[in-house]
Structure 1
């Protein structure tokens, strides 16, 4: 089955398309329209954005320009760190809805585990009850953050989106999420663009006549991770989804496992923004 046709089921019974288009760092309206329109034309039905990306208005307009029905598009957004106080979160949810020009958000995440994360979660739970949000989850939460949240949550998080790629496999965190029926979503799947510099991925790209990026995405697909590669280029958007005509063997996966572990983004246990 095509990666663009695959869904992963949440613990609340709803589904998320396994592959989506990430919009991080897409700023200009033209590039946002090109990326979103190319993605949806290619068969993507999942778009990931966030308040801090400052592109939600253009993303919403680009989605509408495709004439695909709203209910057929899965939209993810995130509450930024400065709005994690309860009342601030309530306000930001309405801002997100307004910027995207939609009546509900399919998935809304706490972007980072700030000290006010539990206040934010309470507001997210209320947004679900109010019908403003279908599903709620977290981003960049470590095991200790999830343990704390699960003790008080009335609604269990459906997903945890965090830096996860062949050079940062986060086994303990992945295992914890799977044990608690929390879907794992990878950001930085292409090692934040550094996959082309990794010898093991170079070998596999040559073996399968694929790009190093496609090898990383296939690795994530085989691990049942939700993936949201970002690109502003139509050709790259299409190429990222072209991973259905090959697979990785156990030998290949063992080779990937020899890649030196390295975190490229901020450490959730020690961040300051």
Structure 2
């Protein structure tokens, strides 16, 4: 794999602009294998979360890779049920312990509900203590951003949200640009949306460059300055997803893909009751 370009965050840290996601990969050895493969293929940015239940396998794959720790960017996330200040402090240590790491490169508030201020204070303190290098948020819409972020002492370095050609987060990107906050995409390939993959313009561009539609989408997002980490358990797909640095889309092609925006996604964090629904979705301490 070519050397992956980095983007500079507002705290001065350099994040690999392309990485590997582990959402919904089970902790039955599958996560270990997928992360080990990704690292072997040149990935140096791994995204996990307490609520993915696979931090331990991510950590083991990193350790077994033999790659120096400072060459791998590791992200994890705090789950909603641990947002009370004391719980958040403990959860940060639990994530470090499960990952087998002395520090995490990035730690996010996974969902913007409940005791967000207390949780954020715990992240700010952990950053000062050297347990976390960069801190950020996830699933914050412009409305939720304006509700919480003005009271934070430290500006988030990133906001990880749903993003793909059908949902390009135009209003949010303006808010983030004003604050020099990077956008990270979850579902960068629209979770395999068949309509998206059938779009004539994407297929025409793919044909022109000898690429597949997924690679064109990821290249578009990269050129938009969005950090992406597609997920796959298939070695061939893990490899091909990363093959986006040997071609460049023209400004006309970028504009054509921008025109695919529907302005809304599959998940709306502003929906009333979504916080409670997520909080009750599962118990991350069930096996403690």
TM, length-normalised to structure 1: 0.94
Native 8 Å contact 1:18 1:225 kept in 2: yes
Matched with 2:219 is 218
TM, length-normalised to structure 2: 0.89
Native 8 Å contact 1:34 1:234 kept in 2: no
Native 8 Å contact 2:168 2:261 kept in 1: no
Counterpart Cα distance in 2 of 1:203 and 1:80: 41
Residue by residue over 1:95-154, the C-alpha shift from the partner in whole angstroms, topping out at 9 and shown as x without a partner, is 101110111111000011103111111111111122211110000111232233332211
Counterpart Cα distance in 2 of 1:264 and 1:156: 25
Aligned length: 272
Alignment partner of 1:172: what SS?
A: helix
Change (3 A) 1:152 1:28: closer
Matched with 1:8 is 7
Counterpart Cα distance in 1 of 2:86 and 2:27: 31
Counterpart Cα distance in 2 of 1:169 and 1:13: 26
Matched with 1:133 is 132
Native 8 Å contact 2:144 2:270 kept in 1: no
Residue by residue over 1:66-111, the C-alpha shift from the partner in whole angstroms, topping out at 9 and shown as x without a partner, is 1111121110000111211212211111110111011111100001
Counterpart Cα distance in 1 of 2:115 and 2:200: 42
Q: Runs of 5+ in structure 2 lacking a partner?
A: 279-288
Counterpart Cα distance in 2 of 1:167 and 1:70: 36
37-46 or 227-236: bigger deviation? 37-46
142-151 or 33-42: bigger deviation? 142-151
Native 8 Å contact 1:178 1:184 kept in 2: no
Matched with 1:247 is 248
Counterpart Cα distance in 2 of 1:197 and 1:81: 36
Alignment partner of 2:29: what SS?
A: helix
Q: Does 1:202 align with 2:203?
A: yes
257-266 or 29-38: bigger deviation? 257-266
Shift of 1:223: 0.7
Shift of 1:192: 1.1
Query: How do 1:145-224 and structure 2 match up within 5 A?
Result: 145-194=144-193, 195-224=196-225
Counterpart Cα distance in 2 of 1:260 and 1:226: 18
Residue by residue over 1:148-198, the C-alpha shift from the partner in whole angstroms, topping out at 9 and shown as x without a partner, is 333221111101110011000111101111110111111111011114233
Native 8 Å contact 2:27 2:53 kept in 1: no
Matched with 1:42 is 41
Alignment partner of 1:219: what SS?
A: helix
Counterpart Cα distance in 2 of 1:199 and 1:155: 44
Counterpart Cα distance in 1 of 2:13 and 2:147: 24
Q: Does 1:59 align with 2:62?
A: no
